Structures are given as C-alpha cells and as structure tokens.
Amino acid sequence: MTSKRSYYTTPLFILTTIISLVVFVHHQRNQQRVVDIYENMYLQSLQQNISFTQKIQEYNNREEEVVRMTTPDSVRAIYISSWVAGTPSLRSKLFDFINDSNINAVIIDIKDSTGVISFPMDLPLVKEYETGSTRIRDIENVIQELHDNNVYVIGRLTSFQDPLLSKKQPELAFKRIDNNEIWTDRKGLAFINPKHEEAWDYLADIAEYSYNLGFDEINFDYIRYPSDGRISNIDYDFAEGQNRASTMKLFYEYLDERLRSKGITISADVFGLATTAQDDIGIGQVFEDIYPHFDAIAPMVYPSHYGPGYFSYDNPNAHPYGVVQKSMQSAVDRANAMGEDPDKLRTWIQDFSLGTPRYGVREVQDQIRATYDIGLDSYMSWDPKNKYTKEAYK
C-alpha cells in the first residue's frame, strides 16, 4: 500500500538541502549559527506568507556589519598608492615591511590626484561620471589582510584637484579668465571649484561608500584652491559674499555634519605653511577654520617644500628636525589657543629626496624625533614611489 505524501515533506526537504549547502559553503563560520539563521528565516517566511527563496534574498541583501579598528593613540603610517595596493606582488613586500617595523597604519588611495577612483563603486554619481576603475580589484581583501595584522587602514581621498571629473563635468571646473576654457596648473592638472555643492556630495558619497567597505578613516587631501600655475588667470566665480577661506570653511562644516555625525572618522591634510601663516596662504586654508571639523589634522611639513630663509635656514631641506619642530610646535600652540586637543595633530614627514641633501635614515628619524620631542606621537610618512627607508622605522 502506497503511503500518502506529507504536505510538509517538500518544503522541509528544500529547507534541509539549503541549510546543508550553506553550511558547506560557509564552512569557516559557526555552523550552528548558520543553521539557526536559516531555520528562523524559514519560520518567518511561513508567518509572512512569502517564499523561502524571497526570504533568503532579503537576508543576502542586508547591509553587512563591518568590523573596524579604533584609531591608535599613536598613529605611525605609510602611504600606499592604488597601483601598489592593487598589485599583490608589490603590496606583499610592503606588508612584510610593515609587519617587521613599528608602522601600525597605512594610507591607501581611494581617489588620487588623477581623479580616478581606485576600485569599483556602486554609486549613482560615480556611474554617471564614469570615474571608477579596477586598479584595486580586491579592496575588501586588502583591508581584511591589514586588519588581520592589526594595521589601521586610512583611505586617502584627493578632493578638488581632479582632472578626470573636470573632463567629465567641465561646468564644475575652474575656468580661465582669458578664454573660458578649463584652467590647469603648471603640471597640466585641472581643479574643481570648491564652491560647487554637487562636488561636495560626490566626495561625501565616495567617503561613505569607502567607509562602509571597511576603511577605518577617510583622509581628505587637496581640500584647497590651486597653489601654482597662472593663478592670476583663474576665474574664481565666488558666490555672493564669499571668498576662498569662507568657501572652504563651508566645505569643512559640510563634511563634519555629513560624515562625523554618522560616526565616520575623518582627517584633513593641510599645507605645512598653514601652521604658521596668519592668512589663507592663497589657497583657502586657515588653520582655525579647519581644526574643529576633523578628527585628525595632518600638516605636510616636508622640509623640502620650504623656501630659502624660512625659519632662518638658508636651506630648510637640510634641517629636517628644525623645520618639523618649529612648524608643528606652532600648530600645537594654535590648537591650544583654540581650546582644541593638540593630540589631533599628525606630522606628514617626507621619506623622499627633493633637492639636497638626499634623505636617508637620519633625515627621516630626525623628523620623527622632532614630532615626539614636542609631545606629539603620530606621524604619516610620504614617498610617492612607496620605497621607504626601512631602517628608519624600527
């Protein structure tokens, strides 16, 4: 005699099969947790009168919880370009160096000075502007590997220097006074006019997306007006009642409200001269306007970038300790005068040679020592070629 088939046999068989597959695929996860999740989804699908498959899709489309590292009390970082980060053979050498050094953080390009975004982004504006790339195809794996080694991951977002966006959206770019064409600096690079709130949204969208991927912090670079080239031929096209400094201040406030209010840690790179200047140094950066709106401030006090006579040095580049000490002490004093925490400061140091002398272990360590001697404990090291003086970071 043939027995009747139970009404519940088929769905229960499907449930058992799916659970088995999930446990197999996710063998590294807690198996009991996976079973419990899917049993619960099956019961919910019955209660809500929807298919079990639809419930699975809802679960898979949920926003995954991202585990991040908290900001170290002492940040000791090196910069890694998108090209190096996206090439396993190159980044593995840097990762080995990091693991054998006192470095505990990295800065990786999200968007560099070309305007190209380093990894694919499912963002409307990025798709509309066609500014994405696959330079770093496995960015989440890169972040995870660094986190597994207790390395804090900072994403660098070059802001208003953006030749690619200037080409895609020329109405956002600075124009020349003489012919209304796109203005470029002495390197032929175009800038976005910081007055455009559409550009603010673009940068903030990229920052949020990157943070949700797992970056621990978003670092904003080139948050300024152009500094070189035929500056006199720029049509600034200021909004009524605005100037460079006031426009940039509005942008800092926007980032603060848009990102920090959501718990996103943000930092700002500023010209080294901003620590001692009393004006906007022609680029819209005023120290006191910037400081309250970011979790960390990183002055680029590269000794090679100071001209003859600065701090009474004929060749400031030959005095890495003195340049960093004087510049960063001024920053500390100004932060204290505002009632702000000077520990937000990080020194951008140079691990590259420009002019004389050539930089080596002593010059790099002199900059670090100057940072420590004035009571600061964080620095970020820049070498555009990513060929660091390893012996300096012991």
Question: What is the SS3 string spanning 290-334?
Answer: HHHHCCEEEEECCHHHCCCCHHHCCCHHHCHHHHHHHHHHHHHHH
Question: For residue 282, is pLDDT > 70?
Answer: yes
Cβ neighbours, 10 Å, residue 132: 18
Average pLDDT, integer, range 123-145? 96
pLDDT tens for 10-26 read 544 444 444 444 334 34
Higher pLDDT, 38 or 361: 361
Question: For residue 166, is pLDDT > 60?
Answer: yes
Q: What is the pLDDT of residue 109?
A: 98
Q: What is the pLDDT of residue 300?
A: 98
In percent, the amount of the chain with pLDDT more than 70 equals 84
Q: What is the pLDDT of residue 161?
A: 98
Q: What is the pLDDT of residue 18?
A: 46
pLDDT bin (cut points 50, 70, 90) of residue 46 is low
Average pLDDT, integer, range 215-226? 98
* Superfamily for domain range 76-300: Glycosidases (3.20.20.80)
CB 299 within 8 A of CB 331: yes
> What residues contact residue 390 under an 8 Å CB cut-off, 6+ apart?
97, 100, 101
> What residues contact residue 205 under an 8 Å CB cut-off, 6+ apart?
123, 125, 126
Q: What is the pLDDT of residue 34?
A: 42
Copy the structure tokens of residue 180: 């209304």
Name which of 79, 110, 116 is nearest 298 in CA terms.
79
Widest Cα–Cα separation across the chain? 105
Copy the structure tokens of residue 173: 């770019």
pLDDT tens for 289-335 read 999 999 999 999 999 999 999 999 999 999 999 999 999 999 999 99
Question: For residue 384, is pLDDT > 60?
Answer: yes
Average pLDDT, integer, range 117-134? 96
Q: What is the pLDDT of residue 54?
A: 58
Query: What is the model's pTM?
Result: 0.84
Q: What is the pLDDT of residue 388?
A: 98
Break the chain into its structural domains and give their ranges. Answer: 9-60, 76-300
Q: What is the pLDDT of residue 22?
A: 39
Q: How far is CA 142 from the centre of its chain?
A: 14
Q: What is the pLDDT of residue 373?
A: 98
